[in-house]
Amino acid sequence: MDEDGKMQLGMVGLGRMGANLVRRLMRNSHECVVFDRDESAVRNLASEGALGAASLEDLVAKLAPPRAVWVMLPAGEATEGAVEALGALLSPGDTLIDGGNSFWKDDIRRAASLSAKGIDYLDIGTSGGVWGLERGYCLMIGGSAEAVHRLDLIFGALAPGLGTIPRHPGWEERDPRVERGYLHAGGPGSGHFTKMIHNGIEYGMMQALAEGFDILRHAGDTSLQPEHRLQLDLAATAEVWRRGSVITSWLLDLSAAALARDGELSRFSGHVSDSGEGRWTIQAAIEEAVPAEVLTAALFARFRSRQEHTFAEKMLSAMREGFGGHVEPGAAPGETGRGIPGRPALTRGAPRYPARNR
């Protein structure tokens, strides 16, 4: 940290989340050194003020100690390879962050391995999707309190801040960071475990909305008695629910926007993917012997969507696209208007990660 209170961060992985994390930090006058296997992604951010790196070695060399490097890559081999490579390059006192959606038990293993080298490891569940650049990111952080405190200015810049959400009386005597949108959840693994449950809950909330709209849509079916058939405007219903109802939420906002554009959601097939956290949430419920009927059913509904498609599954696809830019398998590249008006569709390309050391 310099005398003006500005910090330096290395970012590995410049996909839709990693790049916008960098942009938000630079808007708050922090310095970012960036690397991605896709050289054009590095050049794009360098043109906006970031310092580009040609390799992981170059990125580490351009950071002043004690260094902080944030890995924002797909969970699994991509992240594992990057963490392994960076662990061999960083020095005691440095901090390595995994801000993706890794399995929390992997975080515990990685933290122990890096701790033996004197390197701090933080696992950060990052929520905010494609809207995080403007809205800010909700951060759930696992790791040592000292490392979290050292990087507080980084987390504060990424988080949404107090905003207009009403404050609970008495919270001023508790951890003020939570009100600003970031939480030190506990030791290694706590951040990703908390985010995992967050995403499991998200599955259930989305499924409830999707099924409700499917019932509304079929209220006029010819299989019903003529006097019982109702012709309902789904877009208008979603819009009125946004305004003062008990189920008001961001997911409802996204649903209303999708229905307003196309009441039949004709651009969606209803094929709904799952990114892993839902499965891990159910696995944790089994290990803890905690009943999780709704979350389990929501996960299995996604499995079913890959065999047969209902309007509910189109609703799920519309919501996933809205908050995260997730595109259905087989969607045509270059389509616009998915989730963000005027913005190109976000498609899955080659994984953005360095080759894993063997």
Active-site positions read 195, 202
Q: What is the DSSP letter of 331?
A: P
Identify the three-state secondary structure at position 231. coil
User: HSE of 55 in the Cβ direction (CA atoms, 13 Å)?
Assistant: 7
**Helices 250-261 and 190-217: crossing angle, nearest 10°?**
40
CA–CA distance, 50 with 179 (Å, rounded to integer) = 29
In contact, 269 and 312? CB cutoff 8 Å: no
Burial (CB < 10 A; 0-12, 13-18, 19+), residue 184, is buried
In contact, 291 and 244? CB cutoff 8 Å: no
Is the preceding peptide bond at 66 cis, omega within 30 degrees of 0? yes
CA–CA distance, 249 with 201 (Å, rounded to integer) = 13
In contact, 135 and 129? CB cutoff 8 Å: no
Extract the tokens encoding 222.
Answer: 């010819």
How do strand 120-127 and strand 138-142 relate by DSSP bridges? antiparallel
Q: What are phi and psi of 120, to 5 degrees?
A: -80, 145
CA–CA distance, 87 with 68 (Å, rounded to integer) = 12
CA–CA distance, 71 with 141 (Å, rounded to integer) = 14
Extract the tokens encoding 176.
Answer: 């003020």
Q: What are the residues whose beta carbons fall under 8 Å from the beta carbon of 306, sequence distance 6 or more?
A: 271, 272
Burial (CB < 10 A; 0-12, 13-18, 19+), residue 165, is exposed
How do strand 95-98 and strand 51-52 relate by DSSP bridges? unpaired
Residue ranges in 30-89 assigned as alpha helix (H) = 39-46, 56-61, 77-89
